[in-house]
Structure 1
Amino acid sequence: MPRSPNFRFFQGGLLKHRATPKIFTTQADYVVLLGLSAIVGAISGLIVSTFEYAINFLAHYRMHFFDSWGLPHFVIAILIIIAGAIFAAVGFWLTGKLAPESSGSGIPHIEGALDGLHDIRWWRVLPVKFIAGALTLSSGMVLGREGPSVQIGGAVGRMCAGSAKRYQHATHVLTASGAAAGLAAAFNAPLAGILFIIEEMRPQFRYNITSFKCVTLATLMSTIVLRYFHGQNAIMEIQSYQIPPLGSLWLFLLLGIIFGIIGINFNNWVLQLTAMFKRYHRNNMLRMTITGAIFGAIFAFLQLYYPSMAMGGIIHITEFVKHPMPWVILVMFFALRMVATLGCFSSGAPGGVFAPMLTLGTLLGLAYGAIAAHFFPNLVGEPGVYAVAGMGALFAATVRAPVTGIVLVVEMTDNYQLILPLLMTCLGATFIAQLLGGSPLYSALLKQSLLNKENRQPAAKDMVKQSTPPNSDSNA
């Protein structure tokens, strides 16, 4: 694959590459790559499972560590908030100091690595993403662990590829396999992990029957490991809804159109705020650490007094659906969590945006369902169906991976019978977002990071020239 900073890939070469059966030239190569993919999947599943446990443990530890001290309630509250600020500050510092590529979700970094635009320093990314991500996410910030899980899985693949250097394309295949395994373990959704690589990373992923088998095997192993520790139930305990009537499908299409408009604006806001934070930080560790402390303190306070406004939101989704509120309050929560999600994700924190987006889709979908039930009671029996549709719609509109969004939601909620309404909503959201222009979220973030890197290099060269004496060569 040629390097292409403007993201215009050579389709002829790509098709030729996909059609050729000779990526792996011998049976031994084939067996070794499959075996390594299984190992990558198992390791990724183990690390991602431990990552989830670490986040939950640290969050609970921070919230209840001071309970036995016998201090007044307001003093304990202050200590909890300070602890949240320290957790986030340390997470920001570790990221900026040791592995800047670990900031954000990490998915653009993996996409760049698959296209040969980045190298994965796995010996830094793995420990920093794990420790900094666990600290930052447990502080209460509105971030998800799913994007970091993709980067962790990709780093595991790159680590294992070091033992297969003589096999052509092993690094690419194992990195992709690890990324798919990380997402599958994060959501307990193996099919979504496979589709995410094929659909979202389609410009970077090198299609071949062997590479596809490797990705599938890795997701299988990671899901087996995850379910060994966490059980085989769906990640969300949401009721199984009845199939809505065919006459109501236009309501799902309208919901998709609304999310398509929101999705394109969401991407633009993320890019603008990310650029703003980068201009403010300027790789200054003190500024980055202070930013982390401020965000950590704010969301530790919210987690203490307004828990629905903190954390990624997977737990809140179940509560929102089980105990629906008036649509006005749901819209208010949607607006507030939108601001919180944009701020936290764009700040450079080592966390993702998958779970917060699913929460936003749930809130607006529930509000839409309540309004639709009022005006069309014969078509809308259960407003919660629109919450499930909304989860996939915002994901589809921002990431531009509608099939992945559909499969992800049905695997997470165990509502396979809602595929047809989800198709209407997710495809409608994707078509509208494409019609309005812009790029998929992670591709746009990757392009932005590459442009920032290109701009920094000439500036560094100019600084070197200015610091070099004009007669240094002659004096030497």
Structure 2
Amino acid sequence: MITDESNELNNNNRNQPSRLVRRFFSVRKIPLSTLLLSCLTGLLTGFAATAFQLIIGWLTQYRVNSFDVSVQNFFLISVLSFLISFVLAYFSYWLVFKFAPEASGSGIPEIEGALDDIRPVRWWRVLPVKFLGGIAALGSGMVLGREGPTVQIGGNIGCMLFDLFRLKDKDVRHALIASGSAGGLAAAFNAPLAGIMFVIEEMRPQFRYSFISIKGVTISVVVAVIVLNYFRGPSAEIIIPDNITPPVQSLWLFLLLGCLFGVFGVFFNKLVTLFQNVFSSIQNKYPKYYMYIVSTMGGCFGIFLFYFPEITRGGIEIIPSLTSGIHGIAFLFILFALRLIVTLLCFGSGAPGGIFAPMLALGTLFGMCFGIVAVYLFPTFNLSPSVFAIAGMGALFAATVRAPMTGVLLVIELTHHYNIILPLIITTLGATMLAQALGGKPIYSMLLKRKIEQEKERQSST
């Protein structure tokens, strides 16, 4: 009798973990399959984002190193650099225009439209086009960010898994797309908290808040960043020298900087739309020659990549140099103006790349200029100009995307500078509030609305 009771007790103890698991998922109403698919989404997104970054880095570095070793002739270097970038840019535009027009530009508006059930997700053509086209566009040296492609790739991976497993629940589809998008952003910048907050904050009109979706997003982000760290390491994406924590009496300067970024953010968003309209008119007027025109522009960045790299690529690479204090305010301001122009040109042309990274570089440049002036006018505050550069990095993002907390987390995770969190919050909130007061709209909402209106116009004309 005692033996039977002890056996029953042992069986109950052995079964207790599985019972607890079943009870947890029944009480919380969490389909285990959804969480497992979110994990798989993060895994595939992490591999895709890591490969995307490594291939682009290798492609760019191999070109520069090869020319340094084997070629010394200025004319020959320029011709070869132009031809390589021209071919890469042409291949990128050709893929997009021929097979997947929805893969042009950032791709984040497409994901927001998919979450809102107003844009289709054709993952079977977007995934290869965005991956290969994005590598070619960024590898050519054009001023584009890697986060747009990885966000769209991640969202499409989530939808792909939903379709391959023949699921029917639209809430699960929504959760997987959101999970892949968050994992894509987190893996692009090694910023897990920013990836989660981006979906919750910036995509709040489309994101369906539920226990399933939140857990799915978190799991996907964690797995994607683990994959990235396994291949690249956990170090900060942007290495900036240590900064002195700003004193309390200097915080009003960060609010002033945020207000300046609020004005500039509204202006920047309008410029993005303006340049997109200009390129659209060129494409409509010269449809047979458009790819040659924009590819020629891409070829020029091949030359810049070798002789003036500061105005090429996304800009993350040059931020440590910009904040080191070796450049004067005149150089920084001229570089800011040049990078503003090339950012608008590259993104407005419809190349498959993002605008996050170029905005971070622009915010750093403007913030650094402001910081140099502030240090000169207020020497008793014992400030470092690089503190304003870091704050500006998040402020321009917040003013244009209208996601201040995402901007704060993104900058902190990129730089690992936690001591400036208070001035960073003040700057981003000031930028966001003034941009909203001026009537500015979030950039991705503007881009999505513009794309839908263009498609309606094309359909009505045909």
Q: Do they superpose with TM above 0.5?
A: yes
User: CA separation in 1, counterparts of 2:180 and 2:419?
Assistant: 30
Q: Does 1:104 align with 2:105?
A: yes
User: CA separation in 2, counterparts of 1:441 and 1:166?
Assistant: 32
User: CA separation in 2, counterparts of 1:160 and 1:53?
Assistant: 25
User: CA separation in 2, counterparts of 1:166 and 1:197?
Assistant: 23
Q: Which residue of 1 aligns with 2:11?
A: none
Q: Which residue of 2 aligns with 1:18?
A: none
User: CA separation in 1, counterparts of 2:93 and 2:27?
Assistant: 46
User: CA separation in 1, counterparts of 2:205 and 2:28?
Assistant: 28
Q: Which residue of 2 aligns with 1:13?
A: none
Q: Which residue of 1 aligns with 2:89?
A: 88
Q: Deviations over 1:200-239 (max 9, x none)?
A: 0000000011110110110000010000001011111112
Contact 2:30 2:211 survives alignment (8 Å): no
Q: Which residue of 2 aligns with 1:38?
A: 39
CA RMSD of aligned residues (A): 1.8
Secondary structure in structure 2 of the residue aligned to 1:142 = coil
Q: Residue 260 of structure 2: which of 258, 261, 285 is its match?
A: 258
Secondary structure in structure 2 of the residue aligned to 1:237 = coil
Q: Which residue of 1 aligns with 2:153?
A: 152
Q: Which residue of 1 aligns with 2:238?
A: 236
Secondary structure in structure 1 of the residue aligned to 2:379 = coil
Q: Does 1:271 align with 2:273?
A: yes
Q: Which residue of 1 aligns with 2:50?
A: 49
Shift of 1:91: 0.6
User: CA separation in 1, counterparts of 2:76 and 2:357?
Assistant: 32
User: CA separation in 1, counterparts of 2:381 and 2:111?
Assistant: 44
Q: Deviations over 1:299-343 (max 9, x none)?
A: 112112111111111110011112431112211111111111111
Q: Residue 419 of structure 1: which of 418, 421, 424 is its match?
A: 421
User: CA separation in 2, counterparts of 1:423 and 1:68?
Assistant: 46
Q: Which residue of 2 aligns with 1:406?
A: 408
In the TM superposition, 1:27-426 aligns within 5 A as 30-65=31-66, 72-162=73-163, 163-282=165-284, 286-426=288-428
Shift of 1:28: 8.3
User: CA separation in 2, counterparts of 1:32 and 1:283?
Assistant: 50
Q: Which amino acid aligns with 1:201?
A: M
Q: Deviations over 1:438-462 (max 9, x none)?
A: 21000000000011111111111xx
Shift of 1:25: 8.6
Distance 1:285 1:179, change over 3 A: farther
Contact 1:154 1:178 survives alignment (8 Å): yes
Contact 2:148 2:356 survives alignment (8 Å): yes
User: CA separation in 2, counterparts of 1:164 and 1:418?
Assistant: 48
Contact 2:30 2:212 survives alignment (8 Å): no
| More displaced 10-residue stretch of structure 1: 185-194 or 167-176 | 167-176
Q: Deviations over 1:224-264 (max 9, x none)?
A: 00000010111111123232101110000000001111000
User: CA separation in 1, counterparts of 2:287 and 2:196?
Assistant: 37
User: CA separation in 2, counterparts of 1:314 and 1:65?
Assistant: 23
Q: Which residue of 1 aligns with 2:7?
A: none
Q: Deviations over 1:13-42 (max 9, x none)?
A: xxxxxxxxxxx9998861100000011001
Contact 2:366 2:389 survives alignment (8 Å): yes
Shift of 1:287: 3.1
Q: Which residue of 2 aligns with 1:463?
A: none
Distance 1:254 1:69, change over 3 A: closer
User: CA separation in 1, counterparts of 2:367 and 2:320?
Assistant: 13
| More displaced 10-residue stretch of structure 1: 322-331 or 364-373 | 322-331
User: CA separation in 1, counterparts of 2:26 and 2:107?
Assistant: 32
Shift of 1:273: 1.1
